């Protein structure tokens, strides 16, 4: 099913409310298009605009001149450079029903069914026109009011994907969108804060504000995506005629051939389909990939591909009739930061969490969002009571991007950082960006032990949180190793521990002693590692002794560990040395079955750069992603156990699909990862096909 907006249009009850709504919309548009800021987020503005349109439909004689329904998006920003052809915006649809109605209306207008549609991402940036004279970029102009725009040629040279010289010496205009990728946005905020400015609320605002800035002491990169190519006065007549007759898809291929950056090189390229039903499928595919894209999209653009259909449909004063934007639910909303809670994790990390005025994003009510760490709060200049931009896409944890500084009232209050551990009252180690209780894992021993006993770690059946609490309160365990020295009479003395429960727990502990090194390492909860990284470290070094002997240079040879993470992992392993010694003394396994140890000379130190032997087996050399619900003989396996199976078969497990992925095992309900694999032409396997590949290892 096509994703649709879940929020209704704003309700406008009378002419006074209508006038206020028009004023609010005009103010929001002016603030955004003039400097990249706005008192309204996208969803709030869309609801307001739809409410205005609904009221005007019932009162056509009372439409105010400032109404957004009659203006091109961006019309609040004046410009003095005339466009050779109106630079229109797009009308929107928000639901499957509205999309179906649009396709029917288009067919009626041109008196035939459209047989070719171009479908691509609606990029969340700022529309511009780039003029080239004999192949050289001479001018960059914003959309403005659609008839004239603002000259922003000063930004030329800072926009990636916008070539200063085309591959051919032609005179043309390239239209497109300037935006900031996620990485560019993070960099822009770092630079802006370093120069004493407030962070941008989101990438689109950052691009809009940056594009117009003329006298900043710094520059930050942006990215251009072309979506149009047209003739200018001075364009060769034959070329001008050709550009006017090309299907939209071929027009964009021509632009790409000239060196213009388009969606073609992304995971969501524009594609041509033949029916509205195929459009729906493509919309679903793009929507499924949205959360994984390195740039923002707020919808999908559907265009009539053939030039004859576009001419027959024509354009209105505001938007072409041959194209529509199918808007996706907003992933960013503005709300208020009410409080900051300080929680202590199982490794002793003191983590801040923002308490929000409830806000609905993508159908979920969000009341909490991550604040990362104290240093991040300071960098962003957050205060209690701030209006903040909250971002949530797909299944990611909601995060607070930045304060919306221009909405401050003066009543906001500083965020108070804890001076002692909020859990145990001990000192806090503030030497790193992520603060940590001086007691480390012992501060939250119950959480640490319950995690270690979990299915994807040591898998100690019968040792849930309630039992862990009982053991800790009875003084029987003070760390993970103490679990393996528990005696039968000690357990029998506990409440609700009969002979059967005691024997079962002791048997589970005996089994846990034999777990592979990768699970033991994961159970230790080394900061900067998780299940996948623990497996990679264990398979690389093969024994705990080799891991403990490795220095930072050796550690960073493990796939996925860079120069920043390696020293902290080495330091954490050294800190855990007494606990590791106790575990080994208690008979816990410290080797990784099936992995080949490195030569003795390379077991540690600076020379430990030789990896364990390359994987052998049916998946040797393959990078495998598992997604969706497994069925058949694989249904009993957790995702972690599936990834372990991949690596025992000689492959490398991964959580994300990229061009380097070899195989995607797609179970029931596989969504965006399957779609991306299909887009990239990556081999797909059902759970049953994968089970056949690794049958010898399933037992």
For 117, the enclosing helix (H) or strand (E) is: strand 117-123
How high is the pLDDT of residue 607?
42
- List of residues 6+ apart from 480 with CB closer than 8 A: 448, 449, 452, 523, 524, 579, 583
Q: Is residue 452 part of a domain?
A: yes
Distances (CA, A) of 43 to 50, 297, 325, 332, 353: 11, 14, 15, 8, 24
Q: What CATH number has the domain bearing residue 354? A: 2.40.50.140
Same domain, 356 and 307: no
Same domain, 269 and 180: yes
Q: Is residue 616 part of a domain?
A: no
Residues in the chain predicted with pLDDT less than 50, given as ranges, are 1-7, 74-77, 601-603, 605-614
Instruction: Please state the domain count of the chain.
Output: 6
Ranges of H-type helices in 514-564: 517-524, 531-541, 544-549, 552-555
Q: How far apart are CA 372 and CA 656, in angstroms?
A: 22
Specify whether 303 is catalytic: no
Residue 687 neighbours by CB distance under 10 Å: 22
Same domain, 233 and 371: no
Q: What CATH number has the domain bearing residue 148? A: 3.30.470.30
Same domain, 322 and 398: no
Same domain, 306 and 172: yes
How high is the pLDDT of residue 606?
39
Q: Is residue 55 part of a domain?
A: yes
Same domain, 35 and 88: no
**Furthest CA-CA distance within the chain:** 96
Residue 61 burial class via C-beta count within 10 angstroms: exposed 0-12, middle 13-18, buried 19 and up: exposed
Catalytic one of 71, 122, 623, 676: 122
Residue 606 neighbours by CB distance under 10 Å: 11
Q: What CATH number has the domain bearing residue 22? A: 1.10.287.610
- pTM beyond 0.85: the answer is no
Q: Is residue 4 part of a domain?
A: no
How high is the pLDDT of residue 123?
93
Last residue of one domain, picked from the residues 429, 458, 484: 429
How high is the pLDDT of residue 76?
44
Q: Is residue 209 part of a domain?
A: yes
Q: What CATH number has the domain bearing residue 449? A: 1.10.150.20
Q: For residue range 574-593, what is the model confidence (pLDDT) as tens digits?
A: 989 999 999 999 999 999 98
How high is the pLDDT of residue 612?
42
> Containing domain of residue 504, as a range?
440-513
Report residue 357: phi and psi, to 5°.
Answer: -65, 125
Same domain, 273 and 342: no
Strand spans (E) along 557-597? none
DSSP state, 20? H
Residue 524 burial class via C-beta count within 10 angstroms: exposed 0-12, middle 13-18, buried 19 and up: buried
Q: What CATH number has the domain bearing residue 671? A: 3.40.50.10190
Q: Is residue 615 part of a domain?
A: no
Same domain, 521 and 547: yes
Residue with tokens 């559907």: 302
Q: How far apart are CA 100 and CA 316, in angstroms?
A: 20
Residues found in the chain: 699
| Dihedral sign of CA atoms 480, 481, 486, 490 in order | negative
Q: Is residue 245 part of a domain?
A: yes
| Dihedral sign of CA atoms 250, 252, 256, 262 in order | negative
End-to-end alpha carbon distance in the chain:
40
Same domain, 86 and 234: yes
Same domain, 59 and 96: no
Q: What angle do CA 66, 67, 73 make, to 5 degrees?
A: 95
Last residue of one domain, picked from the residues 579, 607, 635: 607
Last residue of one domain, picked from the residues 456, 479, 513: 513
For 176, the enclosing helix (H) or strand (E) is: strand 172-179
Q: What angle do CA 243, 249, 252 make, to 5 degrees?
A: 65
Residue 494 burial class via C-beta count within 10 angstroms: exposed 0-12, middle 13-18, buried 19 and up: middle
Same domain, 594 and 642: no
Supply the DSSP string of 291-358, one letter for each residue: GG-SS-EEEEEEEE-SHHHHHHH-B-SSSBTTEEEEEPPPSEEEEEEEEEEEEE-TT-BEEEEEEEEE
Same domain, 86 and 119: yes
Strand spans (E) along 45-99? 81-82, 92-93
Q: How far apart are CA 255 and CA 139, in angstroms?
A: 17
If DSSP states are collapsed to H, E and C, what string results for 342-380? EEECCCCEEEEEEEEEEEEECCEEEEEEECCCHHHHHHH
Q: Is residue 100 part of a domain?
A: yes
- 567-604 in b/e form (b: 16+ CB < 10 A) is ebbbebbeebeeebebbeebebbbbbebbebbeeebbb
Q: For residue range 604-650, what is the model confidence (pLDDT) as tens digits?
A: 543 433 444 445 688 888 999 999 889 998 988 888 889 888 988 88
């Amino acid at each position: 099913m096509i994703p649709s907006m879940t929020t209704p249009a704003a309700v406008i009850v009378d002419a006074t409310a209508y006038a206020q709504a028009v004023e609010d919309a005009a103010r929001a548009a002016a603030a955004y298009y003039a400097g990249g800021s706005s008192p309204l987020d996208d969803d709030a503005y869309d609801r307001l605009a739809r409410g205005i349109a609904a009221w005007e439909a019932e009162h056509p004689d009372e439409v105010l001149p400032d109404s957004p329904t009659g203006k091109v998006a961006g019309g609040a920003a004046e410009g003095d450079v005339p466009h050779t052809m109106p630079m229109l915006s797009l009308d929107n649809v928000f639901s499957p029903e509205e999309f179906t109605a649009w396709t029917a209306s288009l067919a009626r207008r041109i008196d035939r069914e459209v047989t070719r549609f171009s479908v691509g991402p609606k990029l969340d940036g700022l529309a511009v026109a780039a003029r080239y004279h004999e192949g050289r970029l001479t001018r960059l102009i914003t959309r403005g009011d659609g008839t004239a725009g603002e000259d922003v040629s000063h930004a030329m040279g800072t926009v990636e994907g916008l070539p200063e010289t085309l591959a051919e010496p032609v005179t043309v205009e390239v239209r497109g969108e300037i935006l900031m990728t996620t990485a560019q946005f993070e960099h822009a905020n770092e630079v802006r804060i370093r120069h004493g400015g407030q962070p941008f609320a989101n990438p689109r605002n950052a691009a809009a504000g940056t594009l117009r800035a003329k006298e900043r002491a710094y520059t930050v990169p942006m990215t251009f995506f072309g979506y149009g190519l047209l003739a200018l006065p001075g364009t060769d007549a034959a070329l001008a005629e050709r550009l006017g007759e090309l299907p939209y898809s071929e027009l964009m291929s021509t632009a790409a051939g000239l060196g213009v950056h388009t969606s073609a090189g992304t995971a969501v390229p524009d594609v041509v389909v033949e029916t509205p039903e195929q459009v729906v499928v493509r919309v679903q595919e793009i929507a499924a990939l949205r959360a994984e894209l390195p740039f923002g999209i707020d919808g999908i653009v559907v265009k009539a591909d053939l030039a004859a259909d576009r001419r027959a449909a024509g354009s209105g004063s505001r938007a072409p009739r041959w194209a529509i934007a199918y808007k996706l639910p907003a992933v960013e909303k503005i709300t208020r930061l009410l409080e900051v809670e300080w929680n202590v994790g199982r490794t002793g990390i003191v983590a801040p969490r923002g308490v929000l005025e409830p806000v609905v994003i993508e159908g979920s009510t969000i009341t909490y969002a991550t604040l990362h760490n104290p240093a991040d709060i300071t960098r962003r200049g957050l205060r209690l009571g701030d209006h903040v931009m909250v971002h949530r896409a797909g299944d990611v944890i909601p995060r607070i991007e930045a304060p919306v500084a221009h909405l401050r009232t003066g009543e906001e209050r500083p965020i108070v950082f804890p001076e002692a551990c909020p859990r145990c009252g001990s000192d806090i180690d503030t030497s790193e960006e992520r603060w940590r209780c001086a007691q480390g894992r012992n501060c939250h021993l119950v959480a640490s032990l319950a995690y270690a006993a979990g299915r994807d770690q040591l898998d100690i059946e019968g040792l849930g949180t309630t039992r862990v609490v009982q053991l800790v309160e009875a003084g029987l365990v003070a760390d993970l190793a103490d679990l393996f020295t528990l005696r039968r009479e000690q357990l029998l003395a506990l409440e609700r521990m009969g002979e059967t429960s005691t024997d079962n727990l002791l048997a589970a502990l005996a089994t846990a002693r034999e777990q592979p090194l990768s699970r033991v390492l994961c159970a230790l909860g080394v900061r900067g590692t998780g299940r996948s990284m623990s497996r990679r470290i264990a398979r690389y070094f093969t024994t705990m002794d080799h891991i403990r002997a490795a220095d930072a240079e050796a550690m960073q040879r493990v796939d996925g560990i860079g120069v920043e993470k390696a020293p902290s992992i080495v330091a954490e392993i050294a800190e855990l040395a007494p606990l590791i010694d106790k575990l080994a003394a208690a008979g816990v396994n410290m080797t990784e079955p099936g992995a080949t140890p490195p030569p003795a000379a390379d077991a540690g130190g600076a020379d430990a750069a030789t990896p364990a032997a390359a994987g052998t087996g049916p998946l040797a050399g393959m990078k495998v992603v598992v997604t969706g619900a497994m069925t058949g003989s694989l249904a009993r396996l957790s995702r972690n156990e599936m990834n372990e199976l991949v690596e025992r078969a000689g492959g490398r497990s991964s959580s994300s699909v990229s061009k380097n992925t070899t195989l995607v095992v797609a179970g029931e309900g596989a969504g965006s990862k399957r779609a991306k694999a299909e887009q990239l032409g990556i081999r797909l396997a059902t759970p049953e096909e994968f089970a056949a590949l690794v049958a010898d290892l399933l037992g």
